[in-house]
Structure 1
Amino acid sequence: MNKLMKAPQRLVKRMLPFRQKAASKALLSALPAFAVPADAIEVLPDPTAFRQTLLRQIAQATRRILIVALYLQDDDGGREVLDALYAAYAKNPSLQIHIFVDWHRAQRGLIGKAKSEGNAGMYREYAERFGPGVAIYGVPVQNRELFGVLHLKGVIIDDTVLYSGASFNDVYLAKQGRYRLDRYHRLLHRELADAMAGFLRRHFVESEAVRRLNVPDVPSTRSLYPAIRTLRDDLQGARYDVPHDALGHADVAVTPLLGFGRADNLLNDVLLALLRGARRRVILLTPYFNLPRPVRLVIGQLLRRGCEIHIMVGDKTANDFYIPPPQPFRTIGLLPYLYENNLRRFARAHRKQMASGQLNIYLWRDGDNSYHLKGVLIDDDVAVITGNNFNPRAWALDLENGLLLRDPGHLLTAKHEAEWAALRQHAVRLTDDLALESTRSYPAEVRKNLKRLNRTRLDRLVNRIM
């Protein structure tokens, strides 16, 4: 009797993916796009090439330089970028130079370090020494950093878009012998650059909540609360201005996407639609293994359909929160272990698919360098380059963006395959969950704190906001 009563419910659950797939197909077919020549899209190989390209483009700029990132750090890497920007302005005073960083992140010191005025102190120091010319704005996406940050990415220099999930400091720019690996793309297309620049002008420069940080008097966050609320409401419905270009035989369809909030989040919706539409293979890159529930569900559906899934994540020692055991333990150092436990549970649940080769999980590690890659490659004709970490925080709290590349002519396939092959050079494929380090081998301080989190179920809360 119970089986008969539950039959309609089971039938609805089985039919739901088909309804979702139809809705996803309709969403993707309605997306506008720029027709960008495939030879105008370049994949840069490493952070050194990214830094060199960035500095060269800054030096050659004639009209505009717009940079948006989580932060521009007060260290050698960040100062090198600021030096280049002020030098470009001195050479060409008609140059428009705007930098947008997270409001909260810019005004605090590093986690675990002494309290300070943060990177904003460097911004003001440069403005006092070199005068006007470089406008640095803080964008307060939420009232507090814990509940969401500016995670938008992109550098627009004249007609070029440099897109990476990286921020700007020593390790992201490979300045001091170590690097934090990300993905790096260069797209030369005036209309795409105009659209991304136009978004920054409409939603940031013209917002009462977005204020200059490199000026003497910076308002308090509390005084901006009403303006921040208005900014949030504005961003909920914001979109890039994108046409419906017709593709030529040598073109790739490029759509910039915005994502903010739990509902009506276009970037999230498109990512799920793309995954549901996968036919043969999905490659998913994420630095922190903490997948949002909708993504986990779609991956399960794809595995049941027989799709091949490849997931690359950083080894816990390649996580930017990892603290080597000889160093004093801090609570933030628990995160890499929490992410590894998430990965262990996921691998244990999919042992069969891992054994058959249908599911392939790779751990990336290269010495004491770190891993910060994000994005997806689907079949041979779809790629998403993004700063989205594929975690619950990115899915609901942070302001995110990305570039969707649809390539029906497979014009970029060789470039993406070369990128994927290069990444695997420093990655090891897990055979099963037992290949991960046992929790019994974790440092004593880590084991104690993990037990406390598990006992109080606070680990679930941490997974939702980190």
Structure 2
Amino acid sequence: MNTLITAPARLARRMLPFRRQPKTSPALEALPFFAVPAHAIEVLRDSAAFRGELLRLIAQASQRIVIVTLYLQDDDGGREVLNALYAAKARRPSLQISVFVDWHRARRGLIGKQKSEGNAGMYRDYAARLGPGVDIYGVPVQNRELLGVLHLKGFVIDDAVLYSGASLNDVYLMRHGRYRLDRYHVLHHRGLADAMADFVQRHFVDSDAVRRLNVADVPATRTLQPAIRELRQDLQRARYDVPDATLGPTDVAVTPLLGFGGSDNALNDVLLALLRATRGRLILLTPYFNLPRPVRAVLGLLLRRGCLIDLMVGDKTANDFYIPPGQPFKTIGLLPYLYENNLRRFARAHHAHITSGQLNIHLWRDGDNSYHLKGLFIDDDVAVLTGNNLNPRAWTLDLENGLVLRDPERLLQAKHQAEWAALREHATRLPDYRALESPRNYPAEVRKLLRRLNRTRLDRLVNRLL
């Protein structure tokens, strides 16, 4: 963060192109899909239910467990999951277990904390004590974490896909009374589970860049750079293997999509196509209000078309980097204020739409808990489950995925409405941009840093990278 603030302005100009026009979006009707029975799609209410379902599925697993997540943390929540994985392997020695985490994130400590060997130290300790059987891999999507991370989501356990934007630690698993709100879905379908498990086998396990982290001899990142470059090129062409299915009257069309890079990004293209196809109602969830330019442009188009739009974002105090007044300030604590500034500008530009009720911005806050929602509800027949934060970093740098659910018979409508109602329990509608805290009232350290960023135009670079 400090490096970004002191970087020269020319670096910002180099890394902020955002002038390319998006390519023609694919026809949504032509998207291949899995025909998943509506009754096989479950919505879990909260992080406690997510933790319980994850541990239940692990305990019952008989064939495979494939976990893909940003990180598996060295804390009570992470250790609970690792203990469950090793116990499952002990019960069924034939059970295949593999865990994929971001390479860079696993090898460092927490931001703002003292240096450490990171979560990889815990992985090695478990392997040394409990032996082989749980393979934990680090996936280096880029040469440096700042330039992109593994942000795929989805846990495949036998024939079930447990999909959430959550990673695995205390707060995501609601340990010790605090939680970070996300979305949680379970889809029971062999074909979908096979496709997601096969993807990581083909593109991760078979890559020279992807290495085990729970072994004694872990190579340095610099020695992997040629292999990382090859992995990056492979991922830019990669797709899930999805058949041409026929949708039955009780089925929902589920399409898994991959997104990586600023061009030929299937997930981005379909998200834009879905947004443009909105007929009357859009609900957009994002944890950090920092929308990519193409998304902002489509929202403006929909408002002019007369569509009703609901946006739900976290209050700045619900951001995981928020530092309460009175605590020592660190530069990373600037981020929640940057996002609130983005939201304030957006709300001010759309003041008339907010006043008329056509645009509803919901701010989520629940004590000292935090907010991590992402995804879309479009009209009553489309939903997107994704780990994509709908920000410039996700749009161009991170490796992302998502599940598009098309439901022409509206079989999931009641479940979606119940989920949306539950998400709004701790949210308040923003009546006006003036209801947000004025930057003049921010802490002195925040005001100083914001002035420096604005003066050098580096605020746009920071918005893209963080």
CA RMSD of aligned residues (A): 1.1
Shift of 1:443: 1.1
Measured in 2, the distance between the counterparts of 1:317 and 1:308 equals: 27
Q: Which residue of the partner structure matches residue 162 of structure 1?
A: 162
Residue 326 of structure 2 aligns with an amino acid whose one-letter code is P
Q: Which residue of the partner structure matches residue 27 of structure 1?
A: 27
Q: Which residue of the partner structure matches residue 7 of structure 2?
A: none
Q: Which residue of the partner structure matches residue 463 of structure 2?
A: 463
Measured in 1, the distance between the counterparts of 2:347 and 2:307 equals: 17
Q: Which residue of the partner structure matches residue 67 of structure 1?
A: 67
Measured in 1, the distance between the counterparts of 2:29 and 2:369 equals: 40
Q: Which residue of the partner structure matches residue 334 of structure 1?
A: 334
Measured in 1, the distance between the counterparts of 2:139 and 2:327 equals: 34
The list of structure 1 runs, each at least 4 consecutive aligned residues, that deviate by more than 6 angstroms after superposition, is none
Q: Which residue of the partner structure matches residue 284 of structure 1?
A: 284
Q: Does 1:224 align with 2:224?
A: yes
Q: Which residue of the partner structure matches residue 238 of structure 1?
A: 238
Q: Residue deviations 1:205-235, cap 9 Å, x none? A: 0000000000000001000000000000000
Q: Residue deviations 1:180-210, cap 9 Å, x none? A: 0000000000000000000010000000000
Q: Say which SS state the counterpart of residue 360 (structure 1) adopts.
A: strand
Shift of 1:454: 1.1
Q: Residue deviations 1:336-361, cap 9 Å, x none? A: 00000000000000001000011100
Q: Which residue of the partner structure matches residue 6 of structure 2?
A: none
Measured in 2, the distance between the counterparts of 1:378 and 1:320 equals: 28
Measured in 2, the distance between the counterparts of 1:335 and 1:439 equals: 13
Residue 430 of structure 1 aligns with an amino acid whose one-letter code is L
Q: Residue deviations 1:55-79, cap 9 Å, x none? A: 0000000000000000000000000
Q: Residue deviations 1:371-396, cap 9 Å, x none? A: 00000000000000000000000000
Shift of 1:277: 0.1
Measured in 1, the distance between the counterparts of 2:196 and 2:22 equals: 30
Measured in 2, the distance between the counterparts of 1:246 and 1:373 equals: 31
Q: Which residue of the partner structure matches residue 250 of structure 2?
A: 250
Measured in 1, the distance between the counterparts of 2:447 and 2:70 equals: 32
Q: Which residue of the partner structure matches residue 176 of structure 1?
A: 176
Shift of 1:27: 2.2
Measured in 2, the distance between the counterparts of 1:229 and 1:353 equals: 46
Shift of 1:149: 0.1
Q: Say which SS state the counterpart of residue 341 (structure 2) adopts.
A: helix
Of 435-444 and 327-336, deviating more is 435-444
Q: Residue deviations 1:152-172, cap 9 Å, x none? A: 001000000000000000000
Q: Does 1:106 align with 2:92?
A: no
Q: Residue deviations 1:113-159, cap 9 Å, x none? A: 11110000000000000000000000000000000000000100000
Paired residues, what number? Answer: 446
Q: Does 1:199 align with 2:199?
A: yes
Residue 261 of structure 1 aligns with an amino acid whose one-letter code is G
Measured in 2, the distance between the counterparts of 1:32 and 1:460 equals: 37
Measured in 2, the distance between the counterparts of 1:285 and 1:20 equals: 22
Q: Which residue of the partner structure matches residue 298 of structure 1?
A: 298
Measured in 2, the distance between the counterparts of 1:433 and 1:363 equals: 12
Shift of 1:425: 1.2
Shift of 1:173: 0.2
Measured in 1, the distance between the counterparts of 2:327 and 2:103 equals: 30
Measured in 1, the distance between the counterparts of 2:31 and 2:255 equals: 8
Q: Does 1:134 align with 2:134?
A: yes
Q: Does 1:448 align with 2:448?
A: yes
Measured in 2, the distance between the counterparts of 1:397 and 1:251 equals: 34
Q: Which residue of the partner structure matches residue 431 of structure 1?
A: 431
Of 387-396 and 318-327, deviating more is 318-327
Shift of 1:37: 0.1
In structure 2, the CA distance between the partners of 1:20 and 1:327, relative to structure 1 (3 Å rule), is: closer
Residue 230 of structure 1 aligns with an amino acid whose one-letter code is E
Residue 254 of structure 2 aligns with an amino acid whose one-letter code is V
Q: Does 1:352 align with 2:352?
A: yes
Measured in 1, the distance between the counterparts of 2:264 and 2:294 equals: 14
Q: Say which SS state the counterpart of residue 27 (structure 2) adopts.
A: helix
Q: Which residue of the partner structure matches residue 374 of structure 1?
A: 374
Structure number with the bigger relative contact order (C-alpha 8 A, sep ≥ 6) is 2
Shift of 1:20: 8.9
Measured in 1, the distance between the counterparts of 2:444 and 2:228 equals: 43
Measured in 2, the distance between the counterparts of 1:461 and 1:404 equals: 30
Measured in 1, the distance between the counterparts of 2:328 and 2:86 equals: 39
Measured in 1, the distance between the counterparts of 2:188 and 2:235 equals: 27
Shift of 1:30: 1.2
Residue 438 of structure 1 aligns with an amino acid whose one-letter code is S
Q: Which structure 1 residue ranges, 5 or more long, are not aligned?
A: 1-18
For 1:85-96, what aligned pairs fall within 5 Å after superposition? 85-96=85-96
Q: Does 1:324 align with 2:324?
A: yes
Measured in 2, the distance between the counterparts of 1:146 and 1:267 equals: 21
Q: Say which SS state the counterpart of residue 425 (structure 1) adopts.
A: helix
Q: Say which SS state the counterpart of residue 311 (structure 2) adopts.
A: strand
